[in-house]
Amino acid sequence: MKITKLGHCCLVIEENGVRIMTDPGAWSTLQSEEKGIDYIFITHEHQDHFHLESLKKVLANNPRARVVTNRGVGALLTQEGIAHEILEHGQSGSFGGVSVEGCGEKHAVIYEEFGQVQNTGYFFANRFFYSGDAFYNPGKPVPILALPVAGSWMKISEAIDYAKLIKPKICFPVHDGMLKIFGPFHGMSQTLLKAAGIAFEVLKEGDSREF
């Protein structure tokens, strides 16, 4: 499996010749240039994950790409006449031969009901878990984890505790588009997770990694 980080939470996952994009949001730009995408998975409707103009650019460059999401985002796509299919919590499917499972139902709490929307994480090929904006535990081994590290809904201690709970072999930071200083911030995660036997590898915008 090859994963390329286009920025924030926008990733390209390549598995057995299938290319899957996640969350083309407003805080990343490289998605507008990407081609050869087969599927686009969207976790929830916040603009740093679902940015309509960005999605339209991706679809213009990838007219055969299929959009997969939950009913919350699906309602917004229907208003725009954008075809999509639904994959939510407890559901699974095969997408070009790649198994994908929907995990989780709600966005993490920001404050009371503010920003509370449907959030669906996705488990790709029984190897890579991307939770969207939530610390959801899929309840089974997770070899590779996309670890949210910054945001209005979390603090870094929660991210580290989440990684320790999931116990992946390796994780890398996502939800970090708002960070201006990468080195010192990620250094704490690397040190503390290494002590727990978890490799933490920083992927910056445009970086790719074979897993």
Task: Summarize pLDDT for 160-191 with one digit per residue, the tens.
Answer: 999 999 999 999 999 999 886 666 678 889 99
Q: Which domains does the chain have, with CATH numbers?
A: 2-210 (3.60.15.10)
* % pLDDT > 70, the chain: 98
| pLDDT above 80 for 10 | yes
How far is CA 170 from its chain centroid? 15
Question: 181-188 — which CB contacts under 8 Å span 24+ positions?
Answer: 185/149, 185/150, 185/156, 186/149, 188/156, 188/160
Task: Summarize pLDDT for 84-99 with one digit per residue, the tens.
Answer: 999 999 999 999 999 9
pTM given for the model? 0.95
* Alpha carbons within 13 A on the beta-carbon side of 102: 22
How far is CA 90 from its chain centroid? 17
How far apart, in whole angstroms, are the C-alpha atoms of residue 99 and residue 69? 15
User: Using CA of residue 41, residue 69, residue 83, residue 96, what is the dihedral sign?
Assistant: positive
